[in-house]
């Protein structure tokens, strides 16, 4: 039986380790290098979750600062060492998979940059966030302004001189807005609906608190709708040791906050007058967290005071003359269906899986997908659970 794992990030490496534990020979194909997605983050990127979440199967965090936040290159080093010490299959870097389709003699056929490859089982581990969402209005900006997705951003010095409009206010958007502001740029942040919380409560990271009460074990079936998988992650940052970062903090720093981008008219960007509604949405999610901790921890729940009133009228028109760049941080969408020619996806493009993480196509599996099984399915400290299930299903098919 030929088994292929596509991707050598945390999901692919964890699956490789678990397949090895079950005696399943396999090969791991990686289009770039191990941890390529992490290598591609901006220069100053820090882990947004605390360090203890560096917790792939067999390699728990062993450092001295579990509640801290390591830098990008330290995450890459952790995954490189994991690949060397725990991944079991043959690792082929620099091999891209262009197309996955039904096979002939075997179940599946992979068209790769190294030529065709037939496989009985394929585990797709190409990352939780694949295709940057580019709103149609992005093409309407004046030609003199550089428009780029956040995946192309590296540091403030790489952008043209002038002000910067950041479109999108999830974790990436707020972090880039802060970094650009601290670099001396004029920054306008186009805000949407995103949850927020304090970085730490009583010296303990908010992610640690939420883990204690089972927040990250929430199953996909508990979401109010499939579209809820696309809601922004908690506004937070690990930069400079980790600190609070949300609309109120950015406003105090001097970042200009506006509503959703409505359109562009010549040299002017037009925004919806909905900033207050976005702030209210985030405050409601803050209250949800506060109630969750109180309900689950009772008298041991930490104190979470009411947020300060949000003040200030948002602009609805911004003059773009003097601006050098627009950075799009409008979230990501699944991109599997572009290259996986098999009927296993829902209307949003996410793979549909059973409890044992099998799909409707025998031999095809996924791991590392956001909310594949639970809220932590794609995270460093949660992907191992799914990897064990996937590897078990592959092994059962191989040995059955």
Residue 38 has pLDDT above 90, yes or no: yes
Tell me how far apart the alpha carbons of residues 340 and 97 are, in angstroms, rounded to a whole number. Answer: 10
**Low-confidence winner among 18-27, 54-63, 99-108, 298-307 (lowest mean pLDDT):** 99-108
Dihedral Cα 69, 74, 77, 82, nearest 10 deg: -10
Backbone dihedral angles phi then psi of residue 132, each to the nearest 5 degrees: -60, 135
Q: pLDDT for 264-294, tens place per residue?
A: 999 999 999 999 999 999 999 999 999 999 9
Distance CA 207, CA 230 (A): 19
Q: Are residues 174 and 309 in the same domain?
A: yes
CATH no. for residue 63?
A: 3.50.50.60
- With beta carbons less than 8 A apart as the criterion, state whether 381 and 389 touch: no
* Structural domains of the chain, count: 2
Tell me the β-bridge partners of 106. none
Q: Are residues 126 and 86 in the same domain?
A: yes
Spatial separation of the C-alpha atoms in residues 283 and 271, rounded to whole Å: 21
62 pLDDT more than 80: yes
Task: Indicate if the pLDDT at residue 232 is higher than 90.
Answer: no
**Could you tell me what percent of the chain has a pLDDT over 90?**
89
pLDDT at 26: 98
Q: Looking at the structure, do residues 152 and 19 belong to the same domain, yes or no?
A: no
Last residue within a domain, chosen from 312, 331, 350: 331
Same domain? For 260 and 242 the reply is: yes
pLDDT at 218: 93
| Mean pLDDT of all residues in 152-173 | 97
Rounded distance between C-alpha atoms, residue 127 and residue 122, angstroms: 15
pLDDT of 129 over the 90 cut = no
Residue closest to 236 by CA, chosen among 307, 171, 163, 322: 171
pLDDT above 80 for 148: yes
Spatial CB neighbours of 40, under 8 Å, sequence gap ≥ 6: 151
DSSP state of 228: G
The DSSP call for residue 118 is E
Q: Which residues have CB under 8 Å from 196's CB, separation 6+?
A: 234, 235, 236, 246, 247, 282, 285, 286
228 shares its domain with 243: yes
pLDDT digits (tens, 9 = 90+) for 294-338: 999 999 999 999 999 998 888 999 999 999 999 999 888 889 999
382's tokens:
């949660």
Q: Could you count the other beta carbons within 10 Å of the beta carbon of residue 206?
A: 24
Q: How far apart are the two ends of the chain, measured CA to CA in Å? A: 11
Among candidate residues 339, 337, 331, the one with its CA nearest the CA of residue 133: 331
**Residue 221 confidence (pLDDT) above 90:** no
Looking only at the bridges linking them, the beta strands covering 261-265 and 268-271 are antiparallel
54 and 190 belong to one structural domain = no
Task: Categorize the per-residue pLDDT at 135 as very low, low, confident or very high, splitting at 50, 70 and 90.
Answer: confident
Average pLDDT over residues 23-50: 97
Domain boundary among 316, 331, 346: 331
Q: Examine the domain organization and report whether 114 and 231 are in the same domain.
A: no
Tell me the pairing of strands 364-366 and 204-205: unpaired
Looking at the fold, whether 301 and 359 belong to one and the same domain comes out as no
Q: What pLDDT score does 230 carry?
A: 81
Same domain (yes/no): 210, 113? no
Q: How many CB atoms lie within 10 A of CB 110?
A: 22
pLDDT at residue number 249 = 97
Same domain? For 314 and 338 the reply is: no
- Report the pLDDT value the prediction gives residue 251, as an integer from 0 to 100: 97
Q: Which residues pair with 332 in a beta bridge?
A: 132
Q: What percent of the chain clears pLDDT 70, i.e. is strictly above it? A: 100
Host domain of residue 56: 3-130+334-399
* 304/292 Cα distance (integer angstroms): 11
Per-residue pLDDT at 181: 98
What local confidence, expressed as pLDDT, does residue 155 receive? 98
Inter-CA distances, 378 with 142, 368, 382, Å: 37, 4, 7
Choose the final residue of a domain: 315, 331, 347.
Answer: 331
Q: Do 126 and 201 reside in the same domain of the chain?
A: no
User: Taking residues 350-359, what's their average pLDDT?
Assistant: 95
Are 267 and 125 contained in the same domain? no
């Amino acid at each position: 039986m030929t088994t292929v794992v596509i991707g050598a990030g945390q999901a692919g490496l964890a699956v490789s380790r678990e397949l090895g534990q079950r005696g399943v020979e396999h090969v791991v194909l990686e289009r770039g290098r191990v941890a390529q997605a992490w290598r591609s983050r901006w220069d100053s990127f820090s882990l947004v979750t605390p360090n203890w979440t560096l917790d792939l199967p067999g390699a728990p965090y062993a450092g001295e600062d579990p509640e801290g936040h390591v830098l990008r290159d330290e995450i890459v080093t952790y995954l490189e060492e994991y690949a060397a010490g725990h991944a079991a299959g043959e690792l082929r870097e620099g091999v891209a998979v262009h197309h996955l389709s039904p096979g002939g003699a075997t179940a599946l056929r992979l068209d790769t940059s190294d030529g065709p490859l037939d496989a009985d089982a394929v585990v797709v581990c190409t990352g939780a966030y694949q295709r940057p969402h580019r709103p149609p209005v992005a093409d309407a900006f004046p030609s003199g302004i550089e428009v780029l997705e956040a995946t192309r951003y590296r540091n403030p010095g790489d952008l043209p001189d002038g002000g910067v409009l950041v479109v999108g206010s999830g974790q990436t958007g707020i972090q880039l807005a802060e970094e650009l502001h601290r670099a001396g740029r004029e920054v306008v942040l186009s805000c949407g609906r995103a949850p927020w919380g304090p970085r730490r409560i009583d010296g303990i990271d908010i992610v640690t608190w939420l883990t204690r009460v089972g927040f990250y074990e929430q199953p996909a079936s508990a979401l109010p709708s499939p579209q809820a998988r696309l809601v922004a992650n908690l506004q937070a940052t690990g930069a400079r040791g980790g600190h609070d970062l949300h609309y109120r903090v950015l406003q105090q720093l001097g970042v200009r906050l506006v509503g959703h981008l409505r359109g562009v008219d010549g040299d002017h960007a037009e925004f919806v007058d909905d900033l207050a509604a976005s702030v209210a949405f985030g405050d409601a999610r803050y209250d949800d967290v506060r109630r969750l901790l109180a309900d689950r921890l009772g008298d041991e729940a930490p104190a979470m005071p009411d947020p300060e009133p949000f003040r200030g009228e948002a602009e609805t028109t911004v003059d773009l003359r003097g601006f050098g760049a627009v950075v799009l941080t409008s979230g990501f969408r699944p991109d599997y269906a572009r290259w996986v020619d098999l009927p296993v996806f829902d209307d949003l493009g996410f793979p549909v899986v059973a409890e044992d993480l099998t799909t409707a196509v025998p031999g095809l599996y996924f791991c590392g997908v956001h909310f594949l099984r639970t809220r932590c399915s794609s995270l460093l400290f949660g992907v191992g659970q799914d990897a064990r299930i996937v590897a078990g299903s592959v092994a059962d098919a191989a040995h059955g």
